[in-house]
A = this chain, B = another copy of it.
Amino acid sequence: MKSLAEKIPEGFTTKELSRIARKKDAFIVAGLAEREGENFYNSAILVGPEGFIGRYRKVHLFNEEKFWFTPGNLEFPVFNIEIARLGIMICFDWIFPEATRILALKGAELICHPANLILPFCQKAMVTRSIENRIICITANRTGIERRGTQKELKFTGASQIVNTEGQILLRLSQEETIGTVNVDPASSRNKHLTDHNDLFIDRRPELYSLLTHQPSSLNGA
């Protein structure tokens, strides 16, 4: 891990992606292993034409990641890049509805979701994430197979996708394809109206949700 993880933003990958973003006049979200002091994080960076903008550190670690990474400690930042307010999730964060919900409540219009998925559920679930939050969700998933030393072979599910605020899949790649583009309107995510009388955010009943922020005692050490 020490040999692969990089400092952000001083490391090679952040610098190189910043260079490309400047050249292409584009914004890029990409995952990498981050080193900070003695800690390693499963992180994603956001860079743009002006360089490094910010990072997210994966909050919910998957399986053996727990041996290597420290869980994210930066909460769920939302970045205003003028063309959109952008939130980041990483891979397994998808299974926790709290992650997307908090990003959306903070004003994220667009979720950028880099992933190395090996389970088959996420792509369908991200449609639910879009519908329940009325936001645009972009899952960029790894393809191919990883074989490393004596470890179990990992086959990634590909099928990267872009879903609009109404849960329509605007783009879904095959298991092998790696690049796809589609135009979206981030401003569409600002409208939380589902029916004449339902605004999905105003209709929430936070006064009834207190259990969500308390780990039930029955789970402690279970």
A residues lining the B interface (CB < 8 Å): 59-64, 66, 71, 75-76, 92, 95-98, 101-102, 105-107, 121, 124-125, 127-128, 131-132, 167, 194-216, 218-219, 222
Contacts and interface: CB of A to CB of B under 8 A. Distances in A.
Nearest to A167: B121
Nearest to A127: B124
Copies of this chain, tallied across the complex: 2
A194 B204 CA distance: 29
A213 B216 contact: no
A218 B107 contact: yes
B105 A205 contact: no
A215 B219 contact: no
Contact of A97 (B63, B97, B121, B207): B97
Contacts of A131: 95, 121, 125
A102 B210 CA distance: 9
Contacts of A208: 59, 75-76, 98, 102
